[in-house]
Structures are given as structure tokens and as C-alpha cells.
Chains A and B, each alone.
Chain A
């Protein structure tokens, strides 16, 4: 480190701390520990839960635990905030405070690139939306369903038995519910409300006649009851949320008790004042600004094995004024208007094959690529410079006589 002027004022002292190597090292060590423990813990609680625990914006402190829920390390600050501090440190210390010159040019450029990448990560974590669109060959779809976002849809049936536009209780309201919480959900223009209880993120639905009901299980409704399930770590999308809904009128009298389970895609119904309503607990619907028509869905395995060789979909993207054909296959997504569609699932189990497209919208989608180019140039320049110095230094020191 270069000799620097002493920092006298409080502001300068704060600047010195925030831009110092010490803070950088503390952040790097903390990030190292957080990354390590989060990796180890994934085996026991799964990826989604680990990300929520370690890397979420609202995770300020983390206590790493082992498979038996025993604490294995002292509490650590949340990784999101460590990264935020590290980014600030890098801006102040690695860019603003750093001595400018050819000798440090490579490092300076690399710091800039990493800051850019960290910002890309921050933007992504705040604004990225992910979901899945399932389309059967020969059919169309204009919506996806968001991952890990259960929502309740309530809709009226018209006289022909068709569903009307739904009222939605959003995942933001449901996801933070604990099993003992009661959520009251009111609907504009309707004179009934819901009381949601017994919400679990992972449940099994049992038929009361087939399974002995335990005292921790939910009440029996229409011959069924819910039981909390152990979180499926290997396939987190297979975890099915479930809850009970008490439909109540303005006098808070129960009209109907419903049991909702994500594994059941058919709505349960109730009637109020002669109007029939349907209710379904489902992954939050995400309407797309275009339709996807699946023309052909192909999946191949290597001969004599169940090892996937290729999954490919020929689709037509349909908007109000144009139709465009695309081929989507592994490592070759379709990008359109900020949306990216990836071939994620394929099955020919039904009458016709279907494709599952993972859909992502992320404003910082391509930023890491740009930052990589910048960082490579910076690091390469710096290390080549160092290598030349090293080789030169080594040759010189060998020429010197032994002391």
C-alpha cells in the first residue's frame, strides 16, 4: 500500500475504513464462509431455502446449522449485505482511492468490472422474475406460472359453467404466513371474505378414510385433511403448498369451509347467494405479452439409455401483429422483449409430447457477459505485466552471486 496522508476528519476516517483493505478482507472472508456454509447446508434444506436463508435481501443475520439443526458456526451477516458493503468498498478503495497509473491500470479495470457484475447481481435479485410455461404440441399458451409463488384464485362461473376473470390473493400475502396465522382476505365488490388458516409450504393431502389423522394434522374437510410434509430437497418444485379457507359473510358467519392443495389443479367450489364460485391454490399466473404456439416438440435419448441427447421445440411466437418462428433447444434460448424462454422440460408421457419452457425476465441479463470481457482484459493485462516482472526478477536474482 502506498504511503498516504493521514486521515484527520471523521469523514475522512470513515472514508478510510470504507475504502480500506481491512474491510475488503473482512467482507471476502465473510463471503467465503457464507458461500461455504450455504453449500454444505443445501444438502439438508435444499437450494431454494438456502438462498432465502443466506442470500436474500431481508436476511440480515445467518446461523449456519447442520443436518440435525445444530449450530455449526457463529452468526454471520447476510450475504446480500456483505456483498453490498464489498461493492461499496471496491468503489471507494478499488476505484476512487486507488492510485491511478499504468502499473495499476489492469487492477483498476478489473475492479470496475467486478463492481459492474455485483450491481448486475443486485439488479437481478431485486427485479428478476422466473416461471414455467407448459405447452402441449399443437397448442398455444399465453401465460407462465411463477416458481415458489403460491396464490389463490377465486372466480365466478357463468351460466354456461365457464370461469370468469379471477380475483387473486397474491403470493406476497401467502408466502410469509405461518401455520398458526390467520389471514383475512377481502374482495372488492363481494360481500364475503376468506379466512385462510393452516398454511404450509409443503403438504400432503390425505383421504380421511385411508389415512389415520394425527393431532397435528388439519381438520377434515369434505373427507380430506392436510398434513405438513417434509420439504423435498431434491425436487423443490414438487413441494405442494396447502391451506384451509373459511368463506365468511358480512356477519362473519361461515358459509363454507374449503381445503386447498396445490397438487390439485381442479378448483373447489362454493355457492353464495345463488352464485357459484371456484377457488384454486396455484402457482401465481404470469401473463405473457405474446403467445407461444408449439409446432413440434422433440426429445431424444441416446440409443439404449435414458440419457437425454436432445430436447428441441419448434415454436411460433404470436403477437397481435406478427408471427415469428423459433427453434429452442438446450443452450439456445429464445430472447424477445426482455423475456427469455429456455427448453427446460420435455415429456412424451401423454397422448402428445409437451415442452416446458423456463421463462425469465431480467434487466441485467447480459451485464455479466460485458463485465467478463472487461475483467478478463484487466486481469490479463495486470498479470502479464507481473509475469514479465517476475521472469525478469528471477533471472536477475539468479545472476547475483550467493550471499
Chain B
């Protein structure tokens, strides 16, 4: 081949690589585009940020949520993710100062400054078009709206919120009716109905279903928000305190402006109301007006944050004020008539530190709930000056009160550990370090020789090791907090798989000193941590919450789950190495030095063996666990099949190579496809929502299509490179033979 044709050949190859890289970039941009909300800063004129002390104090208040006791900050984190789809909310106040509001600050706003919270752009809406019918206009299709945006009224005075509520109710009812109708159809009728629909009708139906889903989910969020902002309303609500003579009420010394006073006096109000009726008279107007106010406030206070640990240790569920009031009132042995008398008895017993007998327990609970109610009223009153010393002191006493009560019950011991876990932000730090390691290693590839090269190399190793340490320590910390092995749900698998792959690549680099594996490890580290972050944001679920009964086995979690996850890690590693191999070979690397190329091929072969070992052992261990849990070793359940597919794919690769069906290129191309199979098994089978592994089902998870796309691109790159090499080799042979013919 002449020099000029060699140069043009190289240019062509670089052009192709560039083309494919741009295609891959376009794929990533397309995928990300769907989840990005235009950055629009909302003005909230009177917003003043909470002081750091208040935020830190609030962060450590124990609350119960998702079946466990966790810090207030963790609850806030996942609530904010579910409402806002992000852990930061950007606003600017009246003076134009930009403010970033974090989860704890936002939840504090909801609890103590609901009027301010209502102005914050908290509700992430992915399709604002759907909201037009309720009179809500938004320029952007994806937007973040405030609660106040839902309060806009039409000419008839109907608020958007009410309309959404009514529509959601209608959708639910219709969906139930449709379900009933469908359940009455025969399979043939159902099939006929499906066939009778035109493509347009089907599309319309899908569109309607999607819009309905948006409305119903939005209604649920709005309701949850109303409880969050309203559950302390009892301490804020303004009402006309009835002026009832002391002769009727007795001198209890309570503040008549507080709701807790009237809840405490509910027995007397009730008596006044009943007596009035018996005597054919109407009860005093103020009493008649007050009773529904109390009922509404009690009802609102049923939701919100559960941060009242019951004093009765036999009860597992923490209270909200409203829930506890209702639970006491509904208890069989609660006797209004004898309340005053029994209250005195309980007080006497408590003074003597004596045990409360069974028949007095409901009255004791009643007194406890009143005490908690008053404490919360104090807190809300103090919060009127949000950053004052008074509020900080009240908040801290509340934190101490809840912490002490939780500790007495043997709960909430990991509160500080958990707040520190989130503050340290291990995985995000690991992401940054891996990114730096990759960038430095990329420079290292350019400057391979001399002092700069050595410096780059050392810097890469340092950042890589630091990133890995952050990742591993993060996994350990998490595992300690959860009190179980590190992998128990889909989220847990992401850092674990990443750590496994990065660690193996790091060790391989240390053994072989080829410089390539460290760069690959950094890429994997960045990708894994980014996925962990995106998944947490998208799923908005606290993945530290306890596991379902069937998974409560540290032995099986530590053996089956860990082993199978290491297998996934191996499959993804092999895929990445082969993908890089394909790109580099297309770009014409290793034309001079073949040893690195062979090394990569041997690495992929080795990693495939590694994947087979762990996947096979993990799959069989899973079968043995299933045999102990469900009574069958193998049930062809999607999750089991997914694991089997990885095993089969590895066996196909290894046997095809032994049989001579595939050589170097075949190994890499199949290994790239193997990555897609791992992705399917790890992620996609959970989206099928069928089988016994129901605890792992996920909604959405469309990120997997991006991964398939990347695998597909890499396969295409490899295939093109293989074809080109074949083509140019043949061309060279033909050229050589024609040159030879010409000479002869």
C-alpha cells in the first residue's frame, strides 16, 4: 500500500471512529434530554434561609417512616426527591439573592412555614399540557410548580386543586369499572375487542392512559403535601375560643387560645353539646363552631411526619398527633364520663412511678398525646421567629425528647451515623475522583514518556485509589447502618457492582502494568456512580428501608446475592473492555504493537471465565435459597432465567472459542452483546413485573434502553472494524498480486 493510501486509510478510520463517537454522544444527549427540566429560578420574595444550627438540629430528629426509624434529614431527602425530582431547589428572594434550598430546609418550611413552602416550586410535572384542562398554563412542557400554582381559580371560582381532585377520583372510578368489565369478558371477546381497535384508537387510548396517570399521581402528591404542610396546623389555626364560664369548665389553668386546651376539654364540650340537646336547647354557638374545627385539625394531623414514639413499648408504630387522638378515642375502654377521675388516678400513679394498670392505659395515652400536642404547639409558636435562639432551643429540646424516647424503646441508635453517611456523600465524591482519574489518565495516554508521564501515572493511581476507597467505605458504612450484607435491593447492587469491577480492574492493572485497565476502571467508576445517583433520584425511595420477610437472611444475602452481583460485575467489565477494544481497533491502534491487543483479548477471555464462575455459583446458590424459601430449586422465574442467560452466554462464548467457531473478533463481539444480556438480567427482568421476585419489581427504568443502545453501537463499531480489516487485507493482497503480475 502506498504512503498516500495509508494516510487516507487512517483518516477514514479516524473519521469512522469520530462518527460512531458522535452517534454515542447523541444517544446520551437524547436520553438525558428527556429528564432535564429547564433551569428557571422562581422568585419567592419573603424567603429567608434557615440557619445552619437549625438545619443541623432538625436533621437529627428521629422519625419513623418506611418501617424504620430514620433521621428527619433522610425523610426530607426522599420526600423532596419524590416531589421535586432533585435534592436542590433554586430560588431567589426579593432582593435578588439566589438561594439553594436543601431537603431538610424544605421540609422545615413545609412544617413550620407552610405559607412560604406553598410558594416554592416543589411539584415536578413532566407534562404540563395535561394541566391545561384545569386552568394551569405553563410555558415549558416539563416544569416545577408551586402549591399556590394549583390554587388558581376559574371564573366560577373553582380552584385547580379541587378540579384535579375530582378528575383523579373520576379516573379511579372509571378505571375500576373498566377492570370489572374486562374481568367479565371471555378471552375471545377480549381479543376481538383488541383487534377491533384501529391504530389511531390504540394510540389515543395510550395517550389518555398516560395523561390519567399524570393526574392521579399529581393528586396523590398534592394530598401528601397537604398533610405535610397541614399536620401542625392545629398549632397555628386561628379560632374563636368559646367563652364558657369557669363554673362549667373548672379551673384547669390552660391557655384558651390553644387547640390542645380544647382537645383536653373535649369531654366537657361534648357534655355541653349533649346536655344542650337533651334539654331541647341548642349548644352555645362557639361550641358548635369549634367542634368541627377540632375534628378537621385532628383529621389533618393524622398524616405528616410520624415523630412521636409511643411510650407503650409493645406498640411498634410511631404516632402522628391526629392518629393517636383517634386511636385513643376509638379504644374500647376509654370512658369520657370518668375521664377526670381516671386522669387523677394516672397522675398519682406516675408521681409514684408505679406501673399503669391495663384499664387506665388509654387514659394514660390520652394524657401523653396532650403533652405531645402542647410540646408541638410550643415548637410552632417558637418557629414564628425561625432563626431565633428560642426556636433553636425548642427544636433541640424536641430532638432530645424524641431521641430519649426512641432510645428507651431501643430505636434510633443509628441516627447520627446515617446523617453523617449522607453528609459524607461517598458516592458523589467517588464519582468526582474517578472522573479526575480518567481525565488524568487520558492525558497520560498522550504523554506516556518522561517526568510528566510518570507524574500523570502517579496522579491517576492516586485519584483512582481514592475514588475506590470512597466507594468501598461508602458501601461498608451503608452496610453497617442497614445491619445486613451490602446488597439487598437493586440500588445496592449498583455501587457493589461498580466497586467489584473497579477493584478487579485495579488489581489487574497492578499485576500487569498496562495503564489501560486503570482508565477503564475510572470510566466504569464514573458510569456506575452516575447510575447510582440517577437511580436514587428517579426512584425516590429510601433503599435503606428494611427488607421483606423472604429476604431477611444475612446468610443468603451474603452468599447468593453477593456472588451473583459479582457475576454481573464481571459481565459488564468484559463488555466495557471489548467495547473499548472495538473502538481502538477501528481507530487503527496496535497496528505496530500487537502485544497490548493480545493482552486485552486474553483479559476478556479471563473475565468471561470469572463471570461464568460467579454467575453459575450465584445462580445455583439462588436455587438452593429458593428451595428453602419456596420449595423449588428452579421455577423458570424471570430473575432466575436472567441469571441463567448470563451463564449460558458465557458457556456459548467459551465453547465457541474452544470449537474454533469464534476467534479474537468473535470473542469481543459476543462479549459486547454479553453486556446487554447482563443488563437485561440485572435490570430489565425487574421491569417485566412477573414472577416470585416481586420485591424487586421496578417501574420505569428506561435507562436500560440507553445501555442497550450503547452496546449496540459498540457492536456496530466492532463489526465495522472487523469488516474493514477484512476488506483492506483482501485489497492489499489483490494489490500485491497485481504488482507481482506487473513485475513478472
Q: Which residues of A contact B (CB under 8 A)?
A: 1, 21-22, 24-25, 28-29, 31-32, 35-36, 38-40, 42-43, 46-47, 50-51, 54-55, 68-69, 117, 120-121, 124, 128, 130, 204, 206, 211, 214, 216-217, 227-231, 233-234, 301-305, 307-311, 330-333, 340, 342, 344, 358-360, 362, 365, 368-369, 371-372, 375-376, 379-380, 383, 386-387, 390-391, 393-395, 397-398, 400, 402-403
Contacts and interface: CB of A to CB of B under 8 A. Distances in A.
Contacts of A32: 645, 648-649, 652
A139 to B, nearest CB: 22
B185 interface: yes
A362 B644 CA distance: 22
B186 A216 contact: yes
A395 B511 CA distance: 8
Nearest to B619: A372
B656 A36 contact: no
Given A21-B655, A216-B186, A372-B624, A124 B685 contact: no
Given A308-B550, A309-B546, A386-B606, 13 more contacts: A21-B658, A24-B655, A25-B652, A39-B636, A227-B186, A228-B188, A304-B65, A304-B66, A308-B548, A330-B549, A379-B617, A390-B606, A398-B512
Given A31-B648, A227-B184, A403-B594, A121 B690 contact: no
A303 B318 contact: yes
A43 B620 contact: no
Most A Cβ at <10 Å: residue of B191, B602, B655: B655
A17 B347 CA distance: 90
Contacts of A380: 613
Most A Cβ at <10 Å: residue of B548, B624, B632: B632
Contacts of A301: 67
B633 A204 contact: no
Given A302-B68, A304-B64, A308-B549, A372 B617 contact: yes
A400 B595 contact: yes
Given A21-B658, A43-B688, A379-B617, A35 B602 contact: no
A39 B633 CA distance: 17
B8 interface: no
A227 B623 CA distance: 39
Nearest to A54: B636
A258 to B, nearest CB: 22
A216 B185 CA distance: 11
A390 B602 contact: yes
A368 B627 contact: yes
A233 B690 contact: yes
Given A230-B187, A379-B613, A402-B592, A25 B659 contact: yes
A79 to B, nearest CB: 9
Interface size grouping (class) on chain B? 35 or more
Interface in B545-559: 545-546, 548-550, 552-553, 556
A29 B651 CA distance: 10
Contacts of B688: 39-40, 42-43
B638 A228 contact: no
Nearest to A216: B186
B616 A211 contact: no
A379 B616 contact: yes
B299 interface: no
A38 B636 contact: yes
Interface of B: 64-68, 182-191, 194, 306, 316-318, 511-514, 545-546, 548-550, 552-553, 556, 592-595, 598-599, 602, 606, 609-610, 612-613, 616-617, 620-621, 623-625, 627-638, 641-642, 644-645, 648-649, 651-652, 655-656, 658-661, 685, 688-691
Contacts of B548: 307-308
A307 B620 CA distance: 28
Contact of A360 (B316, B632, B651): B632
B315 to A, nearest CB: 8
Q: Which 3 A-B pairs have the closest CB atoms?
A: A302-B67, A21-B659, A303-B316
A228 B637 CA distance: 27
B685 to A, nearest CB: 7
B648 A28 contact: yes
A228 B553 CA distance: 42
Contacts of B629: 330-331, 342
Contacts of A309: 67, 546, 549, 552
Contacts of A217: 186
A231 B188 CA distance: 12
Nearest to A299: B549
B145 to A, nearest CB: 29
B602 A393 contact: yes
Contacts of A227: 184, 186
B631 A42 contact: no
A387 B606 contact: yes
29 contacts: A21-B658, A25-B661, A39-B645, A39-B685, A42-B636, A43-B690, A47-B691, A121-B634, A124-B632, A130-B632, A216-B189, A302-B66, A303-B316, A330-B549, A331-B556, A331-B629, A333-B631, A342-B629, A342-B631, A360-B631, A368-B634, A372-B624, A376-B617, A379-B612, A379-B617, A394-B511, A395-B512, A402-B593, A403-B594
B317 A28 contact: no
Given A47-B637, A130-B631, A397 B549 contact: no
Contact of A303 (B64, B556, B621, B631): B64
